[in-house]
């Protein structure tokens, strides 16, 4: 994976500008020409009081040593630090990492989740808020990364993965895009997009939106299973994943 340097780090440049007092909007461009500008950059700096209820409920499950995947401006890291947890943030945007450090995140690294590695059992919780399950891009890649996360986490670890159901829409352009994906043999919720800010543009990114049933299917055989979904209504939800052996042990214990 190539480092996001210079004009390619649109996301990090947006965060840094907002960190320095500007106001901005996250602009995403899909490969069919669809442009979305619905997310205020303030979202990435929001304190706990402004989080969604699903994120508040999910973060209460964080314990032990935490890995914040796609940490952005560090809002999750900072919250967990205040709670006394040891947390490591990773992001592939060098400017996002700079923002995190300036805001007081103690441990943050510039890294892609695809290549990030740690010793077995290092983490007890992995957090992927902000629809960051989507960064896995494809089902196959999601399975590979989940298997890696299984190895670097403890036996009692959990993943708190926020995702978006692509089917919860009536927008014709989205439905047409999903139909095209299926024609090409892809999952309906596979996206190819990039982020723009002023004269900065990221490389094209592959993103994955999945339904709850698709989430269950993807995690099968990766060492994880869905324990439950938080916010079981609407498009956005958080999947609570736990080690598969824990569910099996509970089932045997209940017999």
* CATH code of the domain in which 186 resides: 3.40.50.150
For the chain, the domain total comes to: 1
> For residue 165, is it within any domain?
yes
pLDDT for the residue numbered 3 = 76
> For residue 219, is it within any domain?
yes
pLDDT digits (tens, 9 = 90+) for 26-47: 999 999 999 999 889 999 999 9
Token pair for 149: 């996360």
The mean pLDDT of 178-183, rounded to a whole number, is 98
The mean pLDDT of 40-62, rounded to a whole number, is 96
**Distance between CA atoms of 223 and 150, rounded to whole angstroms?**
6
> For residue 17, is it within any domain?
no
Note down the domain range covering 79: 50-191+204-253
DSSP state, 121? T
> For residue 175, is it within any domain?
yes
Question: Which uninterrupted H or E stretch holds 142?
Answer: helix 139-151
The mean pLDDT of 4-11, rounded to a whole number, is 89
CB 163 within 8 A of CB 209: yes
- If pLDDT is split at 50, 70 and 90, which confidence band does 248 have? low
**Average pLDDT, whole number, for the chain?**
94
**Distance between CA atoms of 108 and 75, rounded to whole angstroms?**
12
CB 237 within 8 A of CB 212: yes
> For residue 10, is it within any domain?
no
pLDDT for the residue numbered 6 = 82
């Amino acid at each position: 994976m190539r480092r996001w340097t210079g004009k390619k780090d649109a996301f990090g440049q947006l965060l840094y500008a907002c960190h320095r007092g500007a106001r901005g909007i996250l602009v995403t461009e899909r490969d069919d020409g669809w442009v979305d500008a619905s997310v205020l950059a303030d979202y990435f700096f929001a304190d706990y009081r402004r989080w969604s209820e699903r994120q508040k409920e999910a973060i209460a499950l964080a314990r032990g040593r935490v890995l914040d995947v796609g940490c952005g401006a560090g809002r999750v890291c900072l919250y967990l630090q205040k709670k006394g947890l040891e947390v490591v943030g990773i992001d592939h945007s060098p400017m996002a990492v700079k923002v995190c450090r300036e805001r007081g995140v103690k441990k943050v690294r510039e890294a892609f989740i695809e290549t990030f590695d740690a010793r077995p059992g290092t983490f007890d919780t992995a957090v992927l808020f902000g629809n960051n399950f989507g960064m896995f891009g494809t089902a196959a890649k999601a399975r590979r990364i989940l298997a890696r996360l299984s190895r670097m986490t403890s036996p009692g670890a959990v993943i708190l993965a926020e995702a978006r159901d692509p089917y919860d829409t009536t927008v014709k352009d989205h439905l047409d895009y999903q139909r095209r994906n299926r024609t090409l043999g892809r999952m309906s919720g596979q996206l190819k997009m990039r982020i723009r800010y002023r004269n900065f543009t990221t490389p094209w990114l592959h993103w994955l939106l999945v339904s709850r049933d698709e989430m269950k299917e993807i995690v099968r055989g990766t060492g994880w299973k869905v324990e439950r979904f938080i916010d079981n209504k609407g498009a956005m939800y958080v999947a609570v994943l736990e080690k598969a052996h824990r569910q099996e042990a509970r089932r045997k214990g209940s017999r």
